[in-house]
């Protein structure tokens, strides 16, 4: 316990659930957010003040701001959790190139840069945890979410590949792949659409942000030390 965790995307529904879960177990948090400072402020009221080392604001689709984030990391980082990102809905043939570049930077290049920056210290210390929140669509794909699905597939491949490369140095790399989770990301769906999806889930309910956070707690714990390069589904059997 007491390890320092860089949480990328701490202001989202899943990010905030992860932050609360980690704080309850004694981890020290470095919280990244983009726009939603209010969310950070709200849930910090319920956290022990000693749980949060610092907050860093950055738009991770902009390379200059990624560099600012990295230069602002004054505390050692024992674990990284990538919980940030956004979906993009619409027909692939209607997708603007600017959106493609933004999504690629946010979901793929920025995690590369952050990981690359922090890996040397982890390798020197012979320990570290790197965890991604990916998506069920990264494995099976989704119509009208081709770009998002492709990028989550890239994250899955990165996890599997990097895990083999850094395992001899005592670093674990894994991912949690949520299915249909009841968060703001799915607010674009109509109630009837949510009901249809839920009816296809064997456990007969949508997942919660806490369901995802509980999986993260397991992976970041030393009890999961023999798990490496895995994409753990949190889907209710969907």
- Could you report the per-residue pLDDT of 187-217, keeping only the tens digit for each? 777 788 888 888 899 999 999 999 999 999 9
Instruction: Please check the confidence at residue 30 and state whether its pLDDT lies above 60.
Output: yes
Confidence of residue 2 (pLDDT cuts 50, 70, 90): low
pLDDT at 26: 94
pLDDT at 220: 97
Span 31-56, pLDDT tens digits? 999 988 888 888 888 888 889 999 99
pLDDT at 185: 72
Instruction: Please check the confidence at residue 121 and state whether its pLDDT lies above 70.
Output: yes
Provide the residue range defining the domain that includes 178: 4-234
Instruction: Please check the confidence at residue 3 and state whether its pLDDT lies above 60.
Output: yes
Kindly report the CATH number assigned to the domain that includes residue 223: 3.40.50.720
Instruction: Please check the confidence at residue 1 and state whether its pLDDT lies above 60.
Output: no
State yes or no: is 148 an active-site residue.
Answer: yes
pLDDT at 190: 76
How many Å apart are CA 118 and CA 78, to the nearest integer? Answer: 9
pLDDT at 189: 74
Predicted model pTM: 0.93
Q: How many domains is the chain partitioned into structurally?
A: 1
Span 94-118, pLDDT tens digits? 999 999 999 999 999 999 999 999 9
Q: What is the mean pLDDT of the chain?
A: 93
Q: Which of 27, 43, 148, 226 is catalytic?
A: 148
pLDDT at 184: 73
179 versus 46: which is more confidently predicted?
179
Span 73-92, pLDDT tens digits? 999 999 999 998 788 888 99
pLDDT at 186: 74
Span 141-165, pLDDT tens digits? 988 899 999 999 999 999 999 999 9
> For 110-137, what is the mean pLDDT?
97
Instruction: Please check the confidence at residue 68 and state whether its pLDDT lies above 60.
Output: yes
How many Å apart are CA 114 and CA 142, to the nearest integer? Answer: 28
In SS3 terms, the chain reads as: CCCEEEEECCCCHHHHHHHHHHHHCCCEEEEEECCCHHHHHHHHCCCCHHHEEEEEECCCCCHHHHHHHHHCCCCCCCEEEECCCCCCCCCHHHCCHHHHHHHHHHHHHHHHHHHHHHHHHHHHHCCEEEEEECCCHHHHCCCCCHHHHHHHHHHHHHHHHHHHHHHHHCEEEEEEEECCECCHHHCCCCHHHHHHHHHCCCCCCCECHHHHHHHHHHHHCHHHCCCCCCEEEECCCC
């Amino acid at each position: 316990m007491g390890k320092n965790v860089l949480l990328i995307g701490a202001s989202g529904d899943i990010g905030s659930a992860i932050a609360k879960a980690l704080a309850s177990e004694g981890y020290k948090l470095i919280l990244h957010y983009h726009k939603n400072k209010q969310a950070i402020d709200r849930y910090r009221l319920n956290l022990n003040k000693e749980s949060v080392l610092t907050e860093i604001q950055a738009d991770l689709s902009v390379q200059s701001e990624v560099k600012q984030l990295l230069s602002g990391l004054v505390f050692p980082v024992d674990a990284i959790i990538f919980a940030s990102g956004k979906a993009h809905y619409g027909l692939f043939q209607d997708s603007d190139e600017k959106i493609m570049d933004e999504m690629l930077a946010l979901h793929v290049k920025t995690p590369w840069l952050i990981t690359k920056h922090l890996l040397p210290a982890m390798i020197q210390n012979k320990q570290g945890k790197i965890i991604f929140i990916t998506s069920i669509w990264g494995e099976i794909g989704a119509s009208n979410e081709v770009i998002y699905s492709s990028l989550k597939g890239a994250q899955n491949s990165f996890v599997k590949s990097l895990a083999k490369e850094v395992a001899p140095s005592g670093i674990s790399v894994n991912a949690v792949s949520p299915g249909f989770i009841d968060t703001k990301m799915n607010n674009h769906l109509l109630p009837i659409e949510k009901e249809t999806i839920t009816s296809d889930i064997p456990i007969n309910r949508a997942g919660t942000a806490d369901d995802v956070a509980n999986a993260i707690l397991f992976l970041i714990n030393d009890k999961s030390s023999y798990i490496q390069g895995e994409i753990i589904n949190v889907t209710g059997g969907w």
